[in-house]
Amino acid sequence: MKMPLVKAAVVAVFCFLLAGVAKADTTCSSTTSPFVCFAFTNVGADGPGVFDVMMEATITGTSTTFSSFAVNFNGATSVNLESSPSGGGWVFIGNHSNNPGGCNLSSSPTFTFCFQGGSSLAPSTPLDFVFDVTEGSEPTSTHIQAFQGGPLAISNDVGIGPGPTSSVPEPASLSLLGLGLLGLPFLRRRRS
């Protein structure tokens, strides 16, 4: 009788793990330490044609100051910074690329949106930014530029992952699972 219950418990744990949060797409500046990674996730909408996209920056192997970056959401007509790490003073500078000195104001304006500020980036501690992205449909890809001219430099295309799924099972699903677990002891075959 114990073995079916153990198997049922393993299956139940596996199902709950699969019901977790969807993962964002990620791009990293390198595979050798130190390196910085950026992940992008759709996290909702603020109205017709305005989508919330979260960018999470994390670093491995060292601490550094994160002071500027540029993003290009393919097809976006405007990008506004909805939220950023507190105390960083992050602001939109203009439609310019990123270079070692920050936003490259000498470059001709493009659909790249450059931001400057200053936040401490500690190992494995993410910095989260949320953008209001205005475009015809939910954005699916972007390009990130940051840390230009140094060992952490990145200028990569990256997909934008789907928003989080509910990690709380519906009451009906929990009820069905509970009823199934209650019936397991009765499935035991009797030997003759």
* Residue 158 within a domain: yes
How confident is the chain (192 residues) per 10-residue block, as mean pLDDT? 55 44 75 93 91 95 94 88 93 90 80 92 94 91 93 94 57 60 64 60
What letter would DSSP give residue 2? H
Burial (CB < 10 A; 0-12, 13-18, 19+), residue 33, is: exposed
How many distinct structural domains can be found in the chain? 1
102 backbone φψ class: left, alpha, beta (φ>0; ψ -120 to 50): left
CB 128 within 8 A of CB 85: yes
pLDDT of residue 105: 82
pLDDT of residue 42: 93
* Residue 2 within a domain: no
Structure token pair of residue 54: 């979260």
Let me know the angle formed at the C-alpha of 153 by 148 and 155, rounded to the nearest 5 degrees: 85
Q: What range does the domain containing 63 cover?
A: 23-166
pLDDT of residue 20: 42
Structure token pair of residue 58: 């994390």
CB 127 within 8 A of CB 68: no
CB 146 within 8 A of CB 154: yes
* Residue 51 within a domain: yes
Structure token pair of residue 27: 């791009």
Residue of 149, 158, 146, 130 whose CA lies nearest to 59: 146
Check which CATH number belongs to the domain holding 59 and give it: 2.60.40
* Residue 14 within a domain: no
Specify the amino acid at residue 104. Answer: N
CB-based burial, 82-91: b 16+ in 10 Å, e otherwise: bebbeebebe
pLDDT of residue 74: 82
* Residue 191 within a domain: no
pLDDT of residue 118: 94
Query: 18 vs 23, 126, 169, 172, 174, CA distance in Å?
Result: 11, 24, 11, 17, 15
* Residue 156 within a domain: yes
